[in-house]
Protein backbone atom coordinates (compact mmCIF):
# COMPACT_ATOMS: atom_id res chain seq x y z
CA UNK A 1 0.00 0.00 0.00
CA UNK A 2 2.91 2.38 0.63
CA UNK A 3 4.06 1.94 -2.96
CA UNK A 4 0.64 2.83 -4.35
CA UNK A 5 0.42 6.01 -2.25
CA UNK A 6 3.80 7.20 -3.59
CA UNK A 7 2.71 6.51 -7.18
CA UNK A 8 -0.53 8.47 -6.68
CA UNK A 9 1.42 11.43 -5.28
CA UNK A 10 3.69 11.38 -8.32
CA UNK A 11 0.75 11.43 -10.72
CA UNK A 12 -0.69 14.53 -9.07
CA UNK A 13 2.55 16.55 -9.35
CA UNK A 14 3.38 15.48 -12.93
CA UNK A 15 6.97 14.39 -12.14
CA UNK A 16 7.99 18.03 -11.37
CA UNK A 17 9.67 19.09 -8.21
CA UNK A 18 7.29 20.79 -5.82
CA UNK A 19 9.06 24.22 -5.84
CA UNK A 20 9.38 24.74 -9.68
CA UNK A 21 6.24 26.15 -11.30
CA UNK A 22 7.80 27.89 -14.37
CA UNK A 23 8.19 31.62 -14.95
CA UNK A 24 5.89 34.21 -13.48
CA UNK A 25 4.20 36.85 -15.63
CA UNK A 26 6.41 39.56 -14.13
CA UNK A 27 9.57 37.66 -15.07
CA UNK A 28 8.34 37.19 -18.66
CA UNK A 29 7.45 40.88 -19.01
CA UNK A 30 10.86 41.91 -17.63
CA UNK A 31 12.69 39.68 -20.12
CA UNK A 32 10.55 41.00 -23.01
CA UNK A 33 11.31 44.59 -21.95
CA UNK A 34 15.06 43.87 -21.90
CA UNK A 35 14.87 42.30 -25.35
CA UNK A 36 12.96 45.34 -26.67
CA UNK A 37 15.60 47.72 -25.26
CA UNK A 38 18.47 45.74 -26.80
CA UNK A 39 16.75 45.52 -30.22
CA UNK A 40 15.95 49.25 -30.21
CA UNK A 41 19.53 50.14 -29.30
CA UNK A 42 20.92 47.92 -32.03
CA UNK A 43 18.50 49.31 -34.63
CA UNK A 44 19.44 52.90 -33.76
CA UNK A 45 23.15 52.11 -34.03
CA UNK A 46 22.62 50.32 -37.32
CA UNK A 47 20.67 53.22 -38.84
CA UNK A 48 23.41 55.69 -37.81
CA UNK A 49 25.97 53.40 -39.39
CA UNK A 50 23.99 53.20 -42.62
CA UNK A 51 23.64 56.98 -42.83
CA UNK A 52 27.38 57.35 -42.24
CA UNK A 53 28.04 54.87 -45.03
CA UNK A 54 25.63 56.74 -47.28
CA UNK A 55 27.42 60.09 -46.91
CA UNK A 56 30.78 58.38 -47.40
CA UNK A 57 29.58 56.73 -50.63
CA UNK A 58 28.12 60.01 -51.92
CA UNK A 59 31.45 61.74 -51.22
CA UNK A 60 33.38 59.06 -53.06
CA UNK A 61 31.01 59.34 -56.03
CA UNK A 62 31.44 63.13 -56.10
CA UNK A 63 35.25 62.79 -55.97
CA UNK A 64 35.08 60.25 -58.81
CA UNK A 65 32.95 62.66 -60.87
CA UNK A 66 35.54 65.39 -60.29
CA UNK A 67 38.37 63.07 -61.35
CA UNK A 68 36.39 62.16 -64.46
CA UNK A 69 35.88 65.87 -65.28
CA UNK A 70 39.59 66.58 -64.79
CA UNK A 71 40.50 63.60 -66.98
CA UNK A 72 38.16 64.81 -69.72
CA UNK A 73 39.76 68.27 -69.64
CA UNK A 74 43.23 66.77 -70.03
CA UNK A 75 42.31 64.23 -72.73
CA UNK A 76 40.15 66.58 -74.83
CA UNK A 77 42.50 69.53 -74.24
CA UNK A 78 39.69 71.90 -73.34
CA UNK A 79 38.18 73.29 -70.14
CA UNK A 80 35.55 71.18 -68.39
CA UNK A 81 33.46 72.05 -65.35
CA UNK A 82 31.58 70.03 -62.79
CA UNK A 83 28.43 71.94 -61.82
CA UNK A 84 27.05 71.64 -58.27
CA UNK A 85 23.48 72.73 -57.50
CA UNK A 86 23.51 73.48 -53.77
CA UNK A 87 19.75 74.04 -53.36
CA UNK A 88 18.86 71.07 -55.55
CA UNK A 89 21.46 68.89 -53.76
CA UNK A 90 22.84 67.56 -57.03
CA UNK A 91 25.84 67.75 -59.34
CA UNK A 92 26.50 67.23 -63.03
CA UNK A 93 29.72 66.13 -64.70
CA UNK A 94 30.18 66.99 -68.41
CA UNK A 95 28.37 64.52 -70.65
CA UNK A 96 26.88 62.66 -67.66
CA UNK A 97 23.43 62.57 -66.08
CA UNK A 98 22.72 64.71 -63.03
CA UNK A 99 23.33 62.90 -59.73
CA UNK A 100 21.01 63.76 -56.85
CA UNK A 101 22.11 63.42 -53.25
CA UNK A 102 19.82 61.84 -50.62
CA UNK A 103 17.19 64.14 -49.06
CA UNK A 104 18.71 64.16 -45.58
CA UNK A 105 22.16 65.13 -46.83
CA UNK A 106 23.40 68.74 -46.84
CA UNK A 107 25.99 70.11 -49.24
CA UNK A 108 28.06 73.29 -49.13
CA UNK A 109 30.62 74.55 -51.62
CA UNK A 110 33.56 76.91 -51.32
CA UNK A 111 34.71 77.88 -54.82
CA UNK A 112 36.02 80.78 -56.87
CA UNK A 113 33.49 83.59 -57.22
CA UNK A 114 33.87 83.54 -61.01
CA UNK A 115 32.54 79.96 -61.05
CA UNK A 116 29.22 80.89 -59.41
CA UNK A 117 26.75 80.72 -62.28
CA UNK A 118 23.80 81.87 -60.14
CA UNK A 119 22.64 81.75 -56.52
CA UNK A 120 22.26 77.99 -56.62
CA UNK A 121 24.87 76.58 -59.01
CA UNK A 122 28.62 76.57 -58.51
CA UNK A 123 31.22 75.17 -60.88
CA UNK A 124 34.64 73.70 -60.34
CA UNK A 125 36.52 74.12 -63.60
CA UNK A 126 39.43 71.98 -64.77
CA UNK A 127 41.93 73.11 -67.41
CA UNK A 128 43.81 71.12 -70.10
CA UNK A 129 47.02 71.17 -68.06
CA UNK A 130 45.24 69.47 -65.13
CA UNK A 131 44.96 72.54 -62.93
CA UNK A 132 41.62 73.87 -61.72
CA UNK A 133 39.83 76.80 -60.16
CA UNK A 134 39.96 74.80 -56.91
CA UNK A 135 37.38 74.45 -54.21
CA UNK A 136 36.02 72.51 -51.29
CA UNK A 137 32.74 70.58 -51.12
CA UNK A 138 31.32 69.46 -47.78
CA UNK A 139 28.73 66.70 -47.50
CA UNK A 140 27.00 66.34 -44.14
CA UNK A 141 24.50 63.75 -42.94
CA UNK A 142 23.70 62.34 -39.51
CA UNK A 143 26.68 63.80 -37.65
CA UNK A 144 29.07 62.59 -40.36
CA UNK A 145 30.87 65.03 -42.63
CA UNK A 146 33.11 64.32 -45.60
CA UNK A 147 35.11 66.95 -47.47
CA UNK A 148 36.20 66.79 -51.11
CA UNK A 149 39.13 69.15 -51.71
CA UNK A 150 40.30 70.31 -55.13
CA UNK A 151 43.76 71.93 -55.27
CA UNK A 152 43.76 74.91 -57.64
CA UNK A 153 47.36 74.57 -58.82
CA UNK A 154 47.51 70.84 -59.49
CA UNK A 155 43.81 69.95 -59.75
CA UNK A 156 44.44 67.11 -57.31
CA UNK A 157 41.26 65.81 -55.69
CA UNK A 158 41.36 64.48 -52.14
CA UNK A 159 38.68 63.08 -49.87
CA UNK A 160 38.73 63.18 -46.09
CA UNK A 161 36.34 62.69 -43.20
CA UNK A 162 35.90 65.86 -41.17
CA UNK A 163 36.05 65.60 -37.38
CA UNK A 164 32.96 67.11 -35.79
Band of the pLDDT at 103, cuts 50, 70, 90?
confident
The predicted model scores a pTM of 0.69
Q: What is the overall mean pLDDT for the chain?
A: 85
Judge whether residue 17 has pLDDT over 60. Answer: no
Backbone phi, psi, residue 78, to 5°: -150, 155
Q: Give burial (CB, 10 Å; 0-12/13-18/19+) of 94.
A: middle
Judge whether residue 4 has pLDDT over 70. Answer: no
Residues 105/55, Cβ–Cβ less than 8 Å: yes
Nearest to 59 by CA among 141, 154, 153: 141
Nearest to 80 by CA among 90, 66, 91: 66
Q: Which fold has domain 26-162?
A: minor pseudopilin epsh fold (3.55.40)
Q: Would you kindly state where each structural domain of the chain is located, as residue ranges?
A: 26-162
Amino acid sequence: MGCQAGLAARRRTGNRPQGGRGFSLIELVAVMALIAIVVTTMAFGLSRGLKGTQVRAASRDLAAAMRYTRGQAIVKREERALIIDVDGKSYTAPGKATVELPEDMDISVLAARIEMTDDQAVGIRFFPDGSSTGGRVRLLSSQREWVVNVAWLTGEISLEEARL
